[in-house]
Amino acid sequence: MTARAPRAGDAAAIGQVALIGLFVTALATAQLTASKLLMFGLPFELPLAGGALVLPGAALAYALTFFASDCYAELYGRRAATVMVNVGFAMNFVVLLLVWSTIAAPALPDQPIDPSTFATVLGASTNIVLGSLLAYVVSQNWDVLVFHRIREYTDGEKLWLRNIGSTATSQFLDTVIFVSVAFSLAPAVLGTGGSTPTNVILSLIVGQYVFKLLVALVDTPFVYAVVALVDRFGDGAATADPATR
């Protein structure tokens, strides 16, 4: 029996599954790495941030979700991208439920990794979870909205503009909401954890946003490459109905 040759629609479907897979993988990774704070030294001083970028370990993984959603929105349309974003929001709770249920489950005595260490590393605090989820649902939906508004205004041209414009504005919202809720509002309202000084909060906002903006600039050629690759091998099968864009 001879193997069936791949069809254009197969390539488009593979691209769709790959982008959804990248989006969900990066999203889950971001949830699991959010509690570690990173610091990168700079050869110059930034306003408020000083000579270093301070950001959560989730920053790179989360930046990949915007890359995936922009590629997906360009190839499959606004409605499909909105569905992916909001299903991804629901999947956040699945990840948290699985992690927390594993932490709560009885542990084998005398194992190599102490259960308390496991809980500390993987069990994100309530403040981090609230900030992350609120920032996600606002910024990702804003990203899809702005991406397609720019697409409409430019008649489908200037992919670089809608990629950078949508990501730059949505990442700003994401950064401000996450840092403000996780490190200031939630601790003050819920009384869980200590409130972070204002100067540190401002430093976190500046550091994270600069990093995310750099990622948005760097990933633009890759957005072009992914869109061109899927369109080429999909023979246009990935192109969404204009009415949905």
Q: Provide mean pLDDT across the span 103-130.
A: 80
Question: Which residues fall within 8 angstroms of residue 200, CB to CB, at 6 or more apart?
Answer: 183
pLDDT at 145 over 80: yes
* Residue matched to tokens 């996450």: 178
- Tens of pLDDT along 171-212? 899 889 988 888 888 777 776 666 678 887 888 888 888 888
Q: Provide mean pLDDT across the span 214-243.
A: 75
- pLDDT confidence bin for 243, thresholds 50/70/90: very low
Element (H, E) at 78: helix 78-104
Q: Calculate what percentage of the chain has a pLDDT beyond 90.
A: 15
Looking at residue 9, its pLDDT comes to 59
pLDDT at 72 over 90: yes
Looking at residue 142, its pLDDT comes to 93
Looking at residue 192, its pLDDT comes to 60
- pLDDT confidence bin for 124, thresholds 50/70/90: low
Q: Calculate what percentage of the chain has a pLDDT beyond 70.
A: 87
Question: Which residues fall within 8 angstroms of residue 122, CB to CB, at 6 or more apart?
Answer: 32, 99, 102, 103
- Tens of pLDDT along 89-115? 888 888 888 888 888 899 888 888 888
146-to-70, 91, 166, 221, 226 alpha-carbon distances in Å: 10, 23, 5, 19, 20
Q: Mean pLDDT in the chain?
A: 82
- Tens of pLDDT along 8-48? 557 678 888 999 999 999 988 887 787 777 888 888 887 77
Q: Provide mean pLDDT across the span 124-148.
A: 84
- Of residues 53 and 176, more confidence is placed in 176
